[in-house]
Amino acid sequence: MSPEAVTLSASAPLTHLSEDEQLFRSSVRDFSRETIGPLVRPMDEEQHFSPDLLPQLFQLGLMGIEIPAEYGGAGGSFFEAVLAVEEISAVDPSVGVLVDVQNTLCINALLRWGTEDQKQRYLSRMAADTVGAYALSEAGSGSDAFALQARAEKRSGEYVLNGQKLWITNAREAGLFIVFATLDPSLGYKGITAFLVEKEFPGFTVGKKEDKLGIRASSTCELILEDCRVPESNLLGEPGKGYKIAIETLNEGRIGIGAQMLGLAQGAWHHAAKYAQERQQFGKPIAEFQAVQFALAEMATEIEATRLLVYNAARLKDAKLDYVREAAMAKYFASQVAERVASQAVEIYGGYGFVKDYPVEKYYRDAKIGKIYEGTSNMQLATIGKLVLGGTKR
């Protein structure tokens, strides 16, 4: 394999995208490289999302891709949201996850479960300037997502929420939170209910930001609910149906995380391939050595397999076909590939890959979360196993 061949294989295939999708993808790619790129290292070192970046994400329509035009959104597809997350994450997965949670979790939940009044009030804001966050996890409620301790009590035309949420992505930037709490613990998962909570509601506080291994610019904070008063009109869906909202929304969200990990892997590969053509050893670029060629070839093959899994799941979702198995497969496989590719990219860089002056060590740190959030790898395998084995029954 020549260095020229490596360069050609670096560009993602576009043959399965429509012309509009290709144009959209190109515009997001250009924005990511030109605008987000220079901010990646300082945001990571400072563990702070650049406030100047958020307005640009809104202005480009990237924070309201699926929001219908009547609410001020772009009126795009879920697949386009996946393309945006992929391209942004190829430059910085921290920005990618902010866009992902906004589009695949929060906006999708409102589109499916919100009343017309709620859509009028919140979708227009989310298209213009309001970041969303999804508050399900608690200290004792991770993979066992419905072991919630947060309580909700109905009192004279409003709900009062008490409890604590942990590991909430976008918490520092968000103005709207989808918060899950239980109305009656004795009912188990059937007591769980979802609420639309504004940051300014009395009794609501964003707590400390976690000091993380990776995606450090992305805010991950605790939420504190102390007699937090929520109007009855901000009940999302029906009382006791929060578990259904959580399950169905997270199925969509897993495709988004698959896209984030896909973009991460593509970004790490791009840097590794470029470096392999520039780094000279024994009088020639290391890309001319078969061992390096084979490593890059294996990485590229796994990335392409990941892309097809993620795109297929997103297309199924847009077509309103069953996609739960495919979403779990995409999320599981993408997180595995992202970690392997990022690790191999570090090795191709050698000693330079281990220092922060070069980009690949950040991809390696960022990749680890893919196996953990929005359903661990073991939870994805459990889902896949049940569905594929169930399909063999006669």
Measured CA to CA, the distance from residue 236 to residue 152 in angstroms comes to 13
The three-state secondary structure class of 56 is helix
Q: How distant, in Å, are the alpha carbons of 28, 56, 70, 148 from that of 315?
A: 19, 27, 24, 33
Which backbone phi and psi does 36 adopt, to 5 degrees?
Answer: -75, -40
Place of tokens 């149906």: 241
- Active-site residue among 87, 138, 302, 374? 374
Measured CA to CA, the distance from residue 75 to residue 213 in angstroms comes to 36
Q: Which amino acid appears at position 390 of this protein? A: G
Taken in order 371, 141, 122, 128, is the CA torsion positive or negative? Answer: negative
Measured CA to CA, the distance from residue 197 to residue 206 in angstroms comes to 12
Per DSSP (E only), the strands in the chain are: 131-135, 151-155, 158-169, 174-182, 192-198, 204-209, 220-231, 235-236, 280-281, 284-285
Measured CA to CA, the distance from residue 190 to residue 193 in angstroms comes to 8
374 is catalytic: yes
User: Which residues are catalytically annotated?
Assistant: 374
